[in-house]
A and B are shown apart, each in its own frame.
Chain A
Amino acid sequence: MTSPKRVGRIEFGLFSPKEIRKMSVRKIIWADTYDDDGFPYPQGLMDLNLGVIDPGLRCKTCDQKAADCPGHFGHIELAKPVIHVGYTRLIRKLLRVTCRSCSRLLMTAEEVEKVVGPEDSELAGEIVSEKDIKKERVCPHCGEQQLKINFEKPTTFSEVFVEDGKKIEHKLTPADIRARLERIPDEDLRVMGVNPDVARPEWTILTVLPVPPVTMRPSIILENGQRSEDDLTHKLVDIIRINQRFKENQDAGAPQLIIEDLWELLQYHVTTYLDNEVAGCPPARHRSGRPLKTLSQRLKGKEGRFRGSLSGKRVNFSARTVISPDPNLSIGEVGIPLAIANEMTLPIRVTQFNLDEMKQYVLNGPERPTIRSPCGANYAIRPDNRRMRLSEANLETVAEMIEPGWTVERQLKGGDIVLFNRQPSLHRMSIMAHRVVVMDGKTFRLNPAVCPPYNADFDGDEMNLHIPQTEEARAEAEILVSVQANILSPRTGGPIIGGIHDHISGIFLLTHTVRHFSKKEALYLTQHLPLEHLPEPDTQDEAGNPLWTNKQIFSLILPDDLNMLFRASSCQNCETCKREVCENDAFVRISNGNLITGTIDKKGIGAFDGQILHRIIRQHGMKRAARFIDDVTKLSIRGIMLKGFSFGIDDEDLTKTEYGQIDEVLNGAVSDVERRIKIFNEGQLEPMPGRTLEETLEMQIMQVLGKARDRTGEIAGRHLGMDNSAVVMAVSGARGSMLNLTQMAGCLGQQSVRGERIMRGYEDRTLPHFRRNDLGAEAHGFITNSYKSGLSPTEFFFHAIGGREGLVDTAVRTSQSGYLQRRMINALQDLKVAYDGTVRTTGGRIIQFRYGEDGTDPGRSSYGAPVDVKGIVESVLKEEVK
Chain B
Amino acid sequence: MGAPLDVLKHEMVPDHQIMSEEEVADLLAAYHISLEQLPKIYHDDPAVKVTGGDVGNVVRITRDSRTAGRAEAYRLIVKRPKK
Q: Which residues of A contact B (CB under 8 A)?
A: 117, 122, 124-126, 836, 838, 840, 843-850, 852-856, 864
Contacts and interface: CB of A to CB of B under 8 A. Distances in A.
Contacts of A843: 37
A845 B40 CA distance: 10
A848 B36 CA distance: 15
The range of chain B's interface size is 10 to 19
Contact of B81 (A124, A125, A836, A844): A125
21 contacts: A122-B82, A125-B81, A125-B82, A125-B83, A126-B82, A843-B37, A844-B33, A845-B37, A845-B38, A847-B39, A848-B73, A849-B31, A849-B71, A849-B73, A852-B68, A853-B65, A853-B71, A854-B68, A854-B71, A855-B68, A864-B67
Interface string B1-43: 0000000000000000000000000000001110011110000
A864 B68 CA distance: 11
B16 to A, nearest CB: 16
A838 B71 CA distance: 13
A733 B83 CA distance: 56
A849 B74 contact: yes
Contact of A846 (B38, B71, B72, B81): B38
A112 B39 CA distance: 35
Given A126-B83, A855-B68, 20 more contacts: A125-B81, A843-B37, A844-B37, A845-B33, A845-B36, A845-B37, A845-B38, A845-B39, A846-B37, A846-B38, A848-B73, A849-B71, A850-B71, A853-B65, A853-B66, A853-B67, A853-B68, A854-B68, A854-B71, A856-B67
Nearest to A864: B67
Which 7 interchain pairs have the tightest Cβ spacing?
Answer: A125-B82, A854-B68, A853-B71, A854-B67, A853-B68, A853-B65, A845-B37
Contacts of A854: 65, 67-68, 71
Nearest to B74: A849
A850 B74 contact: no
Contacts of B71: 849-850, 853-854
A124 B37 CA distance: 26
Given A854-B65, A854-B68, A856-B67, A846 B83 contact: no
A122 B82 CA distance: 10
Given A125-B81, A836-B31, A838-B31, A846 B39 contact: yes
Nearest to A122: B82
A845 to B, nearest CB: 5
Interface in B56-76: 65-68, 71-74
Contact of B67 (A124, A125, A852): A852
A124 B83 CA distance: 10
Chain B interface mostly: loop
A327 B32 CA distance: 52
A864 B66 CA distance: 11
Contacts of B37: 840, 843-846
Contacts of B66: 853
A864 B2 CA distance: 45
Contacts of A864: 67
Contacts of A124: 82
Contacts of A838: 31
A849 B67 contact: no
B31 A846 contact: yes
B66 to A, nearest CB: 8
A850 B68 contact: yes
Nearest to A845: B37
B57 to A, nearest CB: 17
A867 B75 CA distance: 31
A844 B31 CA distance: 10
Nearest to B66: A853
Nearest to B82: A125
A827 B31 CA distance: 23
A863 to B, nearest CB: 12
Contacts of A844: 33, 37
Contacts of A846: 31, 33, 37-39
A828 to B, nearest CB: 15
Given A846-B38, A850-B68, A854-B68, A117 B82 contact: yes
A815 B37 CA distance: 36
B10 to A, nearest CB: 21
A850 B67 CA distance: 11
A849 B38 CA distance: 9
A702 to B, nearest CB: 37
A853 B37 CA distance: 18
Contacts of A856: 67
Contacts of A853: 65-68, 71
A65 to B, nearest CB: 49
Contacts of A850: 68, 71
Nearest to A124: B82
Contacts of B83: 125-126
A864 B65 CA distance: 13
Nearest to B34: A844
A167 B58 CA distance: 63
A852 B67 CA distance: 7
Contacts of A122: 82
Contacts of B82: 117, 122, 124-126
A708 B12 CA distance: 46
Nearest to A125: B82
A117 B83 CA distance: 12
Nearest to A858: B67
A230 to B, nearest CB: 43
A856 B67 CA distance: 9
A124 B81 CA distance: 10
B82 to A, nearest CB: 3
A134 B64 CA distance: 52
Nearest to B30: A836
Contacts of B31: 836, 838, 846, 849
A644 B4 CA distance: 75
Contacts of A845: 33, 36-39
Contacts of A836: 31-32
A545 to B, nearest CB: 57
A848 B75 CA distance: 11
Point out which of B67, B81, B82 has the most chain A C-beta atoms below 10 A from its C-beta: B67
A845 B36 CA distance: 8
Contacts of A117: 82
A388 B77 CA distance: 63
A394 B81 CA distance: 71
Nearest to A841: B37
A854 B67 CA distance: 6
Contacts of B74: 849
A856 B66 CA distance: 12
A124 B82 CA distance: 8
Contacts of B72: 849
B69 to A, nearest CB: 8
